């Protein structure tokens, strides 16, 4: 049976893991930004290149520039502020990667960001209230619907790996992108506050339950098959499927919609 968590991560990748280094060890000035959404243990499955950048200067300047890039990624800047040692650890991993580039497995910054996301971002999004989780999905749908008519390639990117160059969207697209990021940050803050308060956590379905809810909301076996092969879909198919997936909670009664919305909001 399909692993719903992995499927959702691929379908909803909006940018959460971070590659800050190129893999070409012959050029120490090659850095890259990357965004992948992903949640819980499946985060690494959504590693997506956000774009190569060539930076000049010594290692310190390169690390400073990479940290600036990191702070612009969805929720990453908040975590660097909220988690006391996160910025120092990321900076140290960047320096070490420059001195001794990883040749096997994920680069050190990605491993660290995966850990921080699993420990801080995902729990907060799963603990947020239903309204904020649903707002995240609604904002994503609004952006995808706009892109479906103006830039279907970018819509596919959002459904598959996250938008790589938000600056290339039209004015309305950039506004909707900002709206989505604001909704994500609000949901994160609400969930983090809830965790700090020690209040009982709201229900979130497990993988099997989430798949059942998605079926109840109208997704078919064919849809799940498409999700497993999302990279092979056309721009239009991937965009349409992403809109339907994000809209699934709205098809359910309120007592089940909130849990699925939290599940999906955390899987990005």
- To the nearest whole number, what is the mean pLDDT of the chain? 79
Q: What is the DSSP letter of 52?
A: E
Q: Which residue has the tokens 């996160």?
A: 86
Which of 13-22, 230-239, 244-253 bottoms out in mean pLDDT, i.e. has the lowest? Answer: 13-22
Instruction: Give Dmax (Cα) for the chain.
Output: 56
Share of the chain above pLDDT 90, in %: 47
Is residue 9 within 8 A of residue 25, CB to CB? The reply is no
Q: Which residue did the predictor score with more confidence, 71 or 224?
A: 224
Summarised one tens digit per residue, pLDDT across range 115-149 is: 888 899 999 999 999 999 999 999 999 999 999 99
Give the pLDDT score at 114. 84
| Residue 242 confidence (pLDDT) above 90 | yes
Q: What mean pLDDT comes out for the span 147-154?
A: 96
Q: Which residue did the predictor score with more confidence, 204 or 65?
A: 204
d(CA 173, CA 149) in angstroms, rounded, equals: 11
Q: What mean pLDDT comes out for the span 37-54?
A: 31
Summarised one tens digit per residue, pLDDT across range 156-178 is: 998 887 887 888 999 999 999 99
Please give the model's pTM, rounded to 2 decimal places: 0.74
* Residue 58 confidence class, pLDDT cut points 50, 70, 90: low
* Residue 182 confidence class, pLDDT cut points 50, 70, 90: very high
CB atoms within 10 A of CB 34: 26
Contacts of 235 by beta carbon, 8 Å cutoff, 6+ apart: 152, 153, 155, 156
d(CA 84, CA 142) in angstroms, rounded, equals: 35
| Residue 29 confidence (pLDDT) above 90 | no
* Residue 31 confidence class, pLDDT cut points 50, 70, 90: very low
Give the pLDDT score at 21. 34
d(CA 41, CA 18) in angstroms, rounded, equals: 15
3-state secondary structure of 182: helix
CB atoms within 10 A of CB 155: 26
Q: Which residue did the predictor score with more confidence, 112 or 35?
A: 112
Give the pLDDT score at 254. 93
Give the pLDDT score at 74. 72
Q: Is 54 exposed, middle or buried (0-12, 13-18, 19+ CB in 10 A)?
A: exposed
Share of the chain above pLDDT 70, in %: 78
């Amino acid at each position: 049976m399909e692993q719903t968590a992995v499927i959702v991560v691929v379908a909803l990748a909006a940018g959460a893991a971070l590659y800050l280094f190129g893999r070409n060890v012959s050029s120490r000035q090659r850095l890259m930004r990357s965004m992948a959404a992903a949640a819980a243990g499946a985060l690494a499955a959504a590693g997506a290149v956000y774009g190569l950048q060539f930076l000049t200067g010594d290692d310190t300047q390169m690390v400073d520039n990479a940290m600036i890039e990191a702070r612009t990624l969805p929720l990453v800047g908040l975590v660097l502020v909220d988690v006391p040692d996160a910025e120092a650890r990321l900076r140290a991993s960047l320096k070490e990667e420059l001195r001794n580039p990883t040749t096997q497995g994920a680069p050190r910054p990605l491993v660290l960001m995966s850990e921080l996301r699993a420990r801080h971002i995902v729990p907060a999004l799963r603990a947020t209230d239903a309204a904020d989780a649903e707002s995240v999905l609604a904002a994503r749908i609004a952006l995808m619907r706009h892109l479906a008519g103006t830039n279907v390639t970018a819509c596919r990117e959002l459904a598959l790996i996250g938008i790589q160059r938000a600056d290339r969207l039209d004015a309305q697209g950039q506004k909707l992108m900002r709206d989505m990021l604001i909704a994500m940050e609000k949901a994160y803050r609400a969930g983090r506050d809830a965790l700090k308060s020690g209040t009982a956590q709201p229900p979130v379905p497990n993988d099997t339950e989430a798949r059942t809810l998605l079926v109840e909301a109208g997704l078919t076996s064919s849809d799940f098959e498409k999700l497993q092969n999302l990279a092979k879909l056309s721009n239009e198919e991937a965009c349409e499927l992403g809109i339907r997936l994000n809209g699934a909670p709205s098809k359910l009664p309120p007592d089940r919609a909130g849990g699925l919305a939290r599940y999906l909001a955390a899987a990005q």
